[in-house]
Amino acid sequence: MAPTATPKGPLGGMDLRRWPHSLQPAGHTCIPGLGSISWQIGASRTATRERLRDLGYRADMSPELDLEGLPPPAKKALSPGAPPPLKLMAAKGVIPGAKPADIVTVLCGLAADGDAKVAEAAQTTLKDLPPPVLSGALNADLQAPVIHALCETRPHDHDSLGQLLRMPRIATETLELLAERADEKAGEIIATNEQRLLQAPGVIERLYMNKNVRMSTADRLLELAVRNGVELGIPAFREAAEAIQDELIPEASEEPTFDDVLFAEAQEISAQIALSEGEDTHELDEEGNERVKEQIKPLWARISQMTTSQKIRAAVIGKGEDLLLLARDPNRLVSAAAVQSPRMREREAIQISASRSVSDEVLRIIARNKEFTRSYQIKLNLVSNPRTPLTFASSLIPHLREGDLRQIARSKNVTGAISRAAKQQMSRKADRR
């Protein structure tokens, strides 16, 4: 019999879907996150785990839900032959003699039951647990899948979140999910356990990339990682790590700092700006020099007050308008972070590659980006820009059209070496005719 997996349930990355007990190879366990799976009866535990691995289940994805410690009524509710009325009552939290932790564990198991009515009832109960049940469960040693389910259903219940985060069996996967979805206060709570964060740098990465997390907290976490020799998988980490070593890191505080407010204001202003396709944040004055447009000046005023590490984070998580400003920043760490940002699109790269106010390093990074240099306009801009390093500009000349080569050969705005290279390319093309 071929295995089948049927995803269902709104509980996210660990949907807590049960593995039918009648088909378990041994013992009483549930595998969260795989849906309803059918196996040949009598398969060994090793063979079963191999089949799970074939389906994409990883041993580190989520632990098994252990049912051995549950009282008989709870086990009966999760047994494969349990009558639907009994399961439905359990899904509503009615389990005679069960402790709060047992009730929540059963709800996790039933939240992905094959009976849609039962699953929906269990999910609803999990989201709106009676206070005595929730309080009792939070004071117990909950299993990792149960912790995950409670975090999923109440990510902004800060009181519960604080207790859940202190539980010894909380999974790294759960911490990472919370970090991605955290609001400002949840971000502060998650960031307090430095020892656990160093053991799970993915949590630091997700907090850093979360726009709701305070700037001061992101700085503090970045400094923590750098100080302990932990390399993070965030864009422009090298630049951010270098910048943070020269900055004063504030202690955690109840209220946002001035820098937190500044960073948040910049994000709010940026969100209100919508440049049209192909529009830049700068324009040329009468003398041909770039200047910031009037509508962009409020954003530019905030960005100008930021520290280097704050500008780098703004570049990493910001919008195209932020990148067009930050790519022109005189600090090489900031401008390099801007053009390496995952938010950088072709439309921004076109504007930046044409700018005469960006550094040669910025143009070098763009020229090395194969995604960007697929664009003909970017290739033309790089060749035409006198600030582009000669090695990169000359390597792009063979890709230009004859009309553009002719203009570059005559232009007084390119270097002599590029002008000569354009003429040589034209001669080679003429010889081949």
What are the residue boundaries of the structural domains of the chain, listed by start? 12-140, 358-433
CB 14 within 8 A of CB 33: yes
* Distance of alpha carbon 228 from alpha carbon 140, whole angstroms: 33
Q: Burial, 85: exposed, middle or buried (Cβ in 10 Å; 0-12, 13-18, 19+)? A: exposed
* Distance of alpha carbon 180 from alpha carbon 202, whole angstroms: 10
Which single residue is written with the structure tokens 């580190």? Answer: 60
Both tokens of residue 64?
Answer: 């098994």
Stated pTM of the model:
0.80
* Distance of alpha carbon 159 from alpha carbon 192, whole angstroms: 14
- Helices 346-354, 360-368: axis angle to 10 degrees equals 140
* Distance of alpha carbon 312 from alpha carbon 306, whole angstroms: 10
**What is the separation, in whole angstroms, between the first and last Cα of the chain?**
66
pLDDT the model gives residue 291: 95
Q: Which of 272, 268, 172 is nearest to 212 (CA)?
A: 268
Q: Which of 133, 143, 79 is nearest to 108 (CA)?
A: 143
pLDDT the model gives residue 433: 65
Q: Which of 192, 204, 152, 142 is nearest to 174 (CA)?
A: 152
What count of other Cβ atoms lies within 10 Å of the Cβ of residue 238?
12
CB 326 within 8 A of CB 337: yes
* Distance of alpha carbon 242 from alpha carbon 161, whole angstroms: 33
User: Mean pLDDT of successive 10-residue segments in the chain (433 residues)?
Assistant: 36 34 34 34 39 36 67 90 93 93 93 89 93 95 93 89 92 94 95 94 97 97 97 96 92 93 97 92 90 96 97 96 96 96 95 95 96 96 96 95 94 92 89 71
Helix extents (H) in 37-130 = 45-54, 72-78, 84-91, 100-110, 116-127
CA dihedral angle for residue 73, residue 66, residue 33, residue 142, rounded to 10 degrees: 90
Half-sphere exposure at residue 242, Cβ-oriented, CA atoms within 13 angstroms: 10
* Distance of alpha carbon 278 from alpha carbon 351, whole angstroms: 7
pLDDT the model gives residue 266: 97
Q: Which of 63, 88, 65, 66 is nearest to 77 (CA)?
A: 88
CB 241 within 8 A of CB 222: yes
CB 185 within 8 A of CB 158: yes
CA dihedral angle for residue 19, residue 24, residue 27, residue 31, rounded to 10 degrees: -20
Residues 378-389: b if buried by 16+ CB within 10 A, e if exposed? bbbbbbbbebbe
pLDDT tens-digit profile of 337-376? Answer: 999 999 999 999 999 999 999 999 999 999 999 999 999 9
pLDDT the model gives residue 47: 43
Which single residue is written with the structure tokens 């074939």? Answer: 54
* Distance of alpha carbon 307 from alpha carbon 288, whole angstroms: 29
Rg of the chain on CA atoms, in Å: 29
- Helices 100-110, 84-91: axis angle to 10 degrees equals 120
Both tokens of residue 61?
Answer: 């994805």
pLDDT the model gives residue 286: 87
Residues 95-128: b if buried by 16+ CB within 10 A, e if exposed? beebbbbbbbbbbbbbbbbeeeebbbbbbebbbe
Name residue 29's beta-bridge partners. 66
* Distance of alpha carbon 290 from alpha carbon 36, whole angstroms: 61
CB 330 within 8 A of CB 309: no
CB 236 within 8 A of CB 341: yes
